[in-house]
Amino acid sequence: MTAVAIPHAARRRLAGWTPPQVTARALHVWRRNRDVYLNVWRSELIWPIVEPLVTLLALGLGLGTFVELESGQDYIDFVGPALIAVFSMWTATAECGWGSYTRMDSQGSFDAIIATPVSVDEVTTGEVIWGATRSLMGVFYIMVMVTIMGGIDSPMALLIFPLALVPGVMFSAISLAYTAIARSVSSLNYFFATYVTPQFWLSGAFFPLSELPGWVSVVAWFTPAYHVVRIYRALAAGDPQAEHLIDGLWIVVVAAVAYIIAITMMRRRLIK
């Protein structure tokens, strides 16, 4: 007797499920994306640099001079580290959204790769690692800018760089899981409009969520960027607390779950 009735179709699907089979071949997929990036970096480099730079100038230094926070913190200290979080979310999400979709669909690159000894799971893994790599590059540019503008108060901020790999994996895996079920490149717009953009503005990066109705904070707690913002901000201020371990755990768990979902969805998409 089972407590929960699982629909027949779902049970059949789950019955055939096997754990991810991943070897170092996943890195061949990463290398392929790197080769492409090194060919086209001139056009790829401009957005991840100009967009955060303009935002930092406009909000951090411009608007920020009119902002007085309850905590007495300078606005650039508040928004700077948070921008590292939300912009690197954008980079990872875009790479495993539009980027992966193009490779999967119009270029047929994934089909070409899985015709070789590289498996679907390794393609998914390589794509996620590549998305995380792109997001680390973003973290680096923005960290330099924020530091120059005086938004970093503690050398502890250097920890952001290695730690950023985990949120990078998380954002990439979530995005790739959606890409695997997207019907067309334009259906990615829904994902960006309903998930990425609200998260960008409303995850507490630009203003304390206590300013909004209470339910917003509750919703925000369930969004990935919220926790990343909190950790980066604490590290930049040199003031991490035990509660930030919860944020860290949240990110690790969601990253792992999103990765498994991405693997499963991508198998279903490519192996027919």
Give the nearer residue to other proteins in terms of CB position, either 23 or 197: 23
Question: Does 269 engage in binding with other proteins (CB under 8 A)?
Answer: no
Q: How far apart are CA 131 and CA 47, in angstroms?
A: 15
Question: Does 107 engage in binding with other proteins (CB under 8 A)?
Answer: yes
One of 8, 42, 183, 272 touching other proteins (CB under 8 A): 272
Buried b (16+ CB within 10 A) or exposed e, 220-247: beebbbbbbbbbbbbbbbeebeeebeeb
Question: Does 133 engage in binding with other proteins (CB under 8 A)?
Answer: no
For the chain, the residue count is 272
The stretch among 51-59, 169-177, 186-194, 264-272 that binds other proteins (CB under 8 A) is 264-272
And the tokens for 247? 């944020």
Question: Does 100 engage in binding with other proteins (CB under 8 A)?
Answer: no
Q: How far apart are CA 34 and CA 134, in angstroms?
A: 10
One of 12, 54, 108, 181 touching other proteins (CB under 8 A): 108
Cβ(117)–Cβ(195) below 8 Å = no
Question: Does 115 engage in binding with other proteins (CB under 8 A)?
Answer: yes
Question: Does 116 engage in binding with other proteins (CB under 8 A)?
Answer: yes
Amino acid at 205: A
Question: Does 40 engage in binding with other proteins (CB under 8 A)?
Answer: yes
Question: Does 185 engage in binding with other proteins (CB under 8 A)?
Answer: no
169, 171, 174, 178 alpha-carbon torsion, rounded to 10°: -120
Largest CA distance in the chain: 65
Give the nearer residue to other proteins in terms of CB position, either 3 or 271: 271
Question: Does 184 engage in binding with other proteins (CB under 8 A)?
Answer: no
Residue tagged 């904070």 (tokens): 217
Q: How far apart are CA 195 and CA 208, in angstroms?
A: 20
One of 22, 28, 98, 217 touching other proteins (CB under 8 A): 28
Cβ(109)–Cβ(203) below 8 Å = no
One of 26, 32, 228, 263 touching other proteins (CB under 8 A): 32
Question: Does 22 engage in binding with other proteins (CB under 8 A)?
Answer: no
And the tokens for 250? 């949240």
Give the nearer residue to other proteins in terms of CB position, either 5 or 271: 271
Q: How many residues bind other proteins (CB under 8 A)?
A: 23
One of 62, 117, 150, 162 touching other proteins (CB under 8 A): 117
Give the nearer residue to other proteins in terms of CB position, either 1 or 115: 115
In the complex, minimum distance from the CB of residue 103 to other proteins, in angstroms, rounded to a whole number: 9
Buried b (16+ CB within 10 A) or exposed e, 150-161: ebbbeeebeebe
Question: Does 114 engage in binding with other proteins (CB under 8 A)?
Answer: yes
* Residues that bind other proteins in the complex, under the rule CB under 8 A: 25, 28, 31-32, 35-36, 39-40, 107-109, 111-119, 270-272
